[in-house]
Amino acid sequence: MQPLNRQFELIRQSATVSLTDRILALKAQGKPIISLQVGDPDFGTPPAVADAALAALQRGQTHYAPSNGTSALRRAIAHKMKRDENVEYDSDSEILVTNGGIHAYYSALQSILNPGDDVLIPDPSWATHANMTIMLRGNAVRVAAPAENGFIPPLDSWREALTPRTRAIVLNYPSNPTGAYPSRDYLQSLSEFAAEHDLWIVSDEVYGSLYYGERPTSAAEVAKDRALIVNSLSKSYAMTGWRVGYLAAPPRVIANALKASQNSITCVAPFIQEAAAFALTDSATQSATAFMRAEYAQRRALVLRLADECQSERVIASPPQGAFYFFLDMRPLKMSSVEICERLLNEVGVALMPGSAFGAQGEGFVRLCIAASEADIEAGFRKTVEWAEGQ
Ligand SMILES: Cc1ncc(COP(=O)(O)O)c(C=O)c1O
């Protein structure tokens, strides 16, 4: 047998893949399943954004576009970063348009990593953060972000995880799966630590506009010269299927990322880019996204109200600071997250994501996504509590 790329043997995602397969199989059999496991907005993309794409298609925007992105979209991204984070980016040299946030993250790591480099990644964190590092032949070194510390790694933990091979740290705030994000002071101290050890900061900010209190600080605001900002329109504009995002980083990083893009995807489809530029700059579209944020805030309040009413000691719901997830603490059940999710699915038809899919610190937790209808959220939460109380 011909050999394969051995790196893929190191990537483990069996629990979530088998759970997803099982959900699909149950749905195919016609079983009613309350799906609260995926992180995909239940809102439609604002219709004016779709109209912009259609108009571009009809105008013949159906050929290759520049590999780094159209100048209109790069300027729109720079405008967004100035408007929302008050940071200046040069749209010609510091921005690359990508195929969604995941491709921006891939481009970021690919541009800076050499085989055997260590990358510090909080635990829990979206599984792709570690998996991508491994795919690119780096070592994913997990830094505990325990529940008891608000799911933020204590500053000393970064230092303790440091090795001579450490090249980068990965941040994702607000976090998937916890919604947590740190204070500006914390980020400032972390950027000083990164400067002291000459580390890149890869900051995944795809949930950056989804927050319920003070605006989270972008890594660009405290460490622009070493920050690789990963972002997309997927979550903030309900555009997950459009596959458009960006990397904002120092010019030499963008130069590498551009070579990678030219030699892999060529470009993001031009009509998609035109719609993305429209979405980022059109004022009515910003109101549409503000409406979605208000809806998520209402659903968050609903879960907190239900948790207060149920007073369960087995399903503990702490208020997320951002994103659209609750990371429910079900450790009192003393079952694995995978067992909890499998049993919830099989016994009461509620689909949630096991916390262990995000790292060892997520064991005993389950992620409930509130990008779903209030009726589903309420039924899903109540069934979860009833089930847990019956154990
Ligand atoms: C933390 C995080 N980053 C990136 C992504 C990917 O976003 P995109 O759809 O823009 O590729 C996701 C999607 O779930 C995510 O949760």
Which of 234, 243, 246, when mutated, tests ligand 1's pocket best, judged by the most ligand atoms within 8 Å of its CB? 234
**Is a pLDDT exceeding 70 seen at residue 266?**
yes
**Is a pLDDT exceeding 80 seen at residue 14?**
no
pLDDT at position 16, please? 74
Element (H, E) at 171: strand 166-172
Please tell me the residue having the least CA distance from ligand 1 atom 8.
101
Residue type, 65: A
Place of tokens 């790196």: 7
Give yes or no for residue 206 CB within 6 A of ligand 1: yes
Please tell me the residue having the least CA distance from ligand 1 atom 1.
176
- pLDDT, tens digit, for every residue of 112-133? 999 999 999 999 999 999 999 9
Place of tokens 């997830």: 325
Q: Are 258 and 268 in contact (CB under 8 A)?
A: no
**Closest ligand 1 atom to the C-alpha of 245?**
10
Q: Say if residue 86 is exposed, middle or buried (CB neighbours under 10 Å; 0-12, 13-18, 19+).
A: exposed
Give yes or no for residue 176 CB within 6 A of ligand 1: yes
What are the two backbone dihedrals, phi and then psi, of residue 29, each rounded to the nearest 5 degrees?
-80, 0
**Closest ligand 1 atom to the C-alpha of 232?**
10
The domains of the chain, with CATH numbers, are 6-44+286-389 (3.90.1150.10), 60-281 (3.40.640.10)
Give yes or no for residue 234 CB within 6 A of ligand 1: yes
Residue type, 75: R
Please tell me the residue having the least CA distance from ligand 1 atom 13.
39
Secondary structure letter of residue 43 according to DSSP: S
The percentage of the chain sitting over the pLDDT mark of 90, rounded to a whole number, equals 95
pTM: 0.97
pLDDT at position 17, please? 76
**Residue 190: which residues within 8 A CB-CB, separation 6 or more?**
155, 158, 169, 171, 182, 201, 222
Would you give the distance in Å from CA 212 to the centre of its chain?
17
- Distance of CA 128 from the midpoint of ligand 1 (Å): 9
- pLDDT, tens digit, for every residue of 236-246? 999 999 999 99
CA 37 vs CA 19, 165, 201, 233, 350: distances in Å: 10, 36, 29, 20, 9
Helix axis angle for 100-112 and 251-262, nearest 10°, is 110
CA-derived radius of gyration, the chain: 21
pLDDT at position 279, please? 98
**Closest ligand 1 atom to the C-alpha of 104?**
11
Give yes or no for residue 204 CB within 6 A of ligand 1: yes
